[in-house]
Amino acid sequence: MMRLMPIFLGFLLLVGHGATAWAASAKATALRQANGLTGFTPPEKFLAENFVADEMNPGVIFGAVKTFAASRKCPTTWLIESVDKNRPAGPGSPGMPAEYTLYLEEDCPDQVVYYVFIDQSGLTPQQWIEWREKFHKSKAGEQFASAKSKLDLACTAGCGVGAELRFIQKNGELVAKSPEAVLRQDLKFAPIYDLNQGKKLTK
């Protein structure tokens, strides 16, 4: 009997750890259901991409998406809209790259936060810039032209971009502050490249 005790205790620890790792809070579960979201494992290429956090005029580039995810203090889970769960493989056509919305859920005791990313990991950094330019021409061509030249320079410095943090939600409500400002000021998440100064940043 005594010899079986360590095995039994080990089993309890294993089960307990698994339950902690996978159990979402009641609020997180309700938000997932309300938004039609389900668990998802993003492609490694997307997770390894640098990202910007301002749609029109980014001031900085942040490092890998997975580095940001790992920096969060509360348990995180990647989610995707259920209709996109069985997404086709590949980058899509040259004129219409595959683009998916991925939600990084941070499940904290006092709030549930969604960091909403756009995944275009099928594109090279230069293709990503060209696609964003094409997308924004009808809305604010001159404004994005300035951002494009800065992003081009970042590409040559090895700090190309392949993802975008489009917006942030807290408890289902859109955060008015720009995602870039939230990351830099509130979360103290350091960027790797300053687009306005055109140079890499050291930690």
Please indicate whether residue 199 or residue 91 has the higher confidence score (pLDDT): 199
Single-letter residue type at 197: Q
**Cα distances (angstroms) measured from residue 114 to each of 22, 104, 107:** 17, 6, 9
pLDDT of residue 140 exceeding 60, the answer is no
Q: CA–CA separation, 39 vs 81, rounded Å?
A: 9
The model carries a pTM of 0.81
The three-state DSSP-derived secondary structure of 138-187 is: HHHHHHHHHHHHHHHHHHHCCCCCCEEEEEEEECCEECCCCHHHHHHHHC
pLDDT tops 60 at residue 148: yes
For the segment 39-58, the average pLDDT, to the nearest whole number, is: 91
Residue 23 per-residue DSSP state:
P
If you average pLDDT over every residue of the chain, what do you get?
Answer: 82
Residue among 52, 42, 46 at smallest CA distance from 129:
52
